[in-house]
Amino acid sequence: MANILVTGGAGYIGSHTCLELLEAGHDVVVLDNLSNSSEESLKRVQELTGKSLKFIQGDIRDPHDLDQAFATHKIDAVIHFAGLKAVGESQKIPLSYFDHNIAGSIQLTQAMERAGVFNLVFSSSATVYDEANISPLDETMPTGMPSNNYGYTKLIVEQLLQKLAIADPRWSIALLRYFNPVGAHKSGRIGEDPQGIPNNLMPYVTQVAVGRREKLSIYGDDYDTIDGTGVRDYIHVVDLANAHLCALNNRLNAKGCRAWNIGTGNGCSVLEVKNTFEKVNGVAVAYEIAPRRSGDVATSFANNARAVTELGWTAKYTLEDMLADSWNWQKQNPTGYQS
Ligand code: NAD
Ligand code: UD1
């Protein structure tokens, strides 16, 4: 069992990953500045597992916070979630995105080097793929220039980490390219808690269903897809969390930098998501068809064969599970962790 530093561990994917790490018997140290999360998520993770983790309120851009974390805890590997993730905001305040996501990742790797820790799992995104690639997307396909500054920071950090691992063979780095994370732990005690108006489909759907928003705007019904609406690869956050444990195992026994897609391999349209949500949960989701959203592609889904073969990871949850679990979380926590 290992001692894992989880940056951004209080957030949506981080909290689910902390839970799986604790369940698997690892020790967990979370470093999070709580800029987009609440310590409540970590309290609930500890309640659910009956195990404790260490929490440091700190910033990945601050070398003192990082050095203190490594000095106080004998860390074996780092899972790096911390960063900003709102696509629209990244167009308005690019410097903050460059600072948190790029400069923060550089500070983190420098602190890791000072501490002699060279195992890293990084949260990347399917957004790094060139838009001209045809789905299913696989890791040998070219990356492109993402249409927004958020995606750009993911691409840059991927490239920095690849170059780092080439220059210094002590490093062992996993780049996990997430497709569309949704769902929540089956208890409904932890889940996604976006601030303000959600940008992403799933929290918008659940907030309409719970009465916090009037109706869902479906961005375009004239794409070349099964029903004209955008197709994505939705992945249950617990499956995604488990991919980090598989990547850690792989990296603790290997060197270099390698990318893996983390998606189910199934594409679902926006209308399929809405209709399945209504069917599985017995609630209506009011909607309207709106113009296409700038920067969207028609279809994006994964070829996940590399993760299945090399990491021994599989996605266990169906779309129905994802939608039931998202709703279970939202119903129990209508205003998120503030409930
Ligand atoms: P989240 O906002 O819930 O979690 C990120 C956490 O990082 C938050 O707890 C926040 O407080 C913390 N944080 C932000 N800046 C920090 C800093 N400078 N120092 C310390 N902590 C900081 O987001 P999430 O959905 O859990 O995403 C986790 C990671 O996965 C992010 O890097 C995100 O870009 C990436 N990712 C997310 C998605 C998605 O759809 N959710 C898709 C692809 C990639
Ligand atoms: C978006 C980001 C991507 C980021 C990911 C996770 C863009 C162009 N891409 O991906 O960089 O990694 O979120 O944070 O923003 N939809 C609606 N109505 C809504 C919301 C979404 O119809 O209110 C549609 C979208 O047009 C899309 C699908 O639902 O077809 C999924 O959208 P979303 O959840 O925002 O994810 P992505 O666009 O795939």
Out of 5, 34, 36, mutate this one to test ligand 1's pocket (max ligand atoms within 8 Å of CB): namely 36
295 lines ligand 2 (CB under 6 A): yes
Q: Could you tell me the two tokens for 326?
A: 């998202």
Instruction: Domain of residue 116: give its range.
Output: 3-182+234-263
Cα separation values, 22 from 10, 16, 223, 254, Å:
14, 10, 43, 23
Phi and psi dihedrals of 30, rounded to 5? -105, 130
Q: Per-residue pLDDT for 264 more than 80? A: yes
Could you give the percent of the chain with pLDDT greater than 70?
A: 100
Work out the angle at residue 130's Cα, subtended by the Cα atoms of residues 201 and 323, and round it to the nearest 5 degrees: 20
pTM given for the model:
0.98
Residue 1: per-residue pLDDT: 86
Q: Region 161-175: what's the mean pLDDT?
A: 98
Q: Per-residue pLDDT for 136 more than 70? A: yes
Q: Is residue 271 part of a domain?
A: no
CB atoms within 10 A of CB 102: 17
Sign (positive or negative) of CA dihedral 86, 89, 91, 93: negative
Q: Is residue 21 part of a domain?
A: yes
Work out the angle at residue 119's Cα, subtended by the Cα atoms of residues 163 and 76, and round it to the nearest 5 degrees: 155
| Alpha carbon distance 28, 18 (integer Å) | 7
Q: Which ligand is nearest to the CA of 198?
A: 2
Residue 243: per-residue pLDDT: 98
Q: Per-residue pLDDT for 148 more than 70? A: yes
Q: Is residue 43 part of a domain?
A: yes
pLDDT in tens, 304-331: 999 999 999 999 999 999 999 999 999 9
| Alpha carbon distance 257, 93 (integer Å) | 30
Residue 339: per-residue pLDDT: 61
Position 253 confidence tier, pLDDT thresholds 50, 70, 90: confident
Minimum CA distance residue for ligand 1 atom 39: 181
Name every residue whose Cβ is closer than 8 Å to that of residue 136 and which is 6 or more positions away in sequence.
Answer: 265, 301, 302, 303
CB 28 within 8 Å of CB 54: yes
Minimum CA distance residue for ligand 1 atom 6: 8
Q: Is residue 325 part of a domain?
A: no
Position 76 confidence tier, pLDDT thresholds 50, 70, 90: very high
pLDDT in tens, 211-239: 999 999 999 999 999 999 999 999 999 99
Q: Write the Ramachandran bin of 289: left for phi over 0, alpha for psi from -120 to 50, otherwise beta.
A: beta
> Of residues 12, 97, 129, 150, which has the active-site annotation?
150
Q: Per-residue pLDDT for 181 more than 70? A: yes
* Coil, strand or helix at 120: strand
Amino acid identity at 110: Q
Out of 5, 6, 13, mutate this one to test ligand 1's pocket (max ligand atoms within 8 Å of CB): namely 13
Active site includes 150?
yes
Whose tokens are 């599985």? That residue is 280
Minimum CA distance residue for ligand 1 atom 15: 83
Q: How far is the CA of 9 from the centre of ligand 1 (A)?
A: 8
Q: Is residue 39 part of a domain?
A: yes
Q: Is residue 116 part of a domain?
A: yes
Calculate the average pLDDT of the chain.
97
Q: Which ligand is nearest to the CA of 194?
A: 1
Q: Is residue 305 part of a domain?
A: no
Check which CATH number belongs to the domain holding 89 and give it: 3.40.50.720
Q: Region 133-146: what's the mean pLDDT?
A: 97
Minimum CA distance residue for ligand 1 atom 14: 83
Position 252 confidence tier, pLDDT thresholds 50, 70, 90: confident
Q: How many structural domains are present in the chain?
A: 1
Residue 338: per-residue pLDDT: 83
Buried residues in 266-276 as b, exposed as e (16+ CB within 10 A): bbbbbbbbbeb
Out of 293, 297, 301, 319, mutate this one to test ligand 2's pocket (max ligand atoms within 8 Å of CB): namely 293
Q: Is residue 226 part of a domain?
A: no
Percentages helix, strand, coil for the chain (3-state, rounded to 5) are 40, 20, 40
Q: Which atom of ligand 2 is nearest to the CA of 85?
A: 14
Ligand 1 pocket (Cβ < 6 Å) reads: 7-8, 10-14, 32-37, 59-61, 81-85, 100, 104, 123, 125, 178, 181
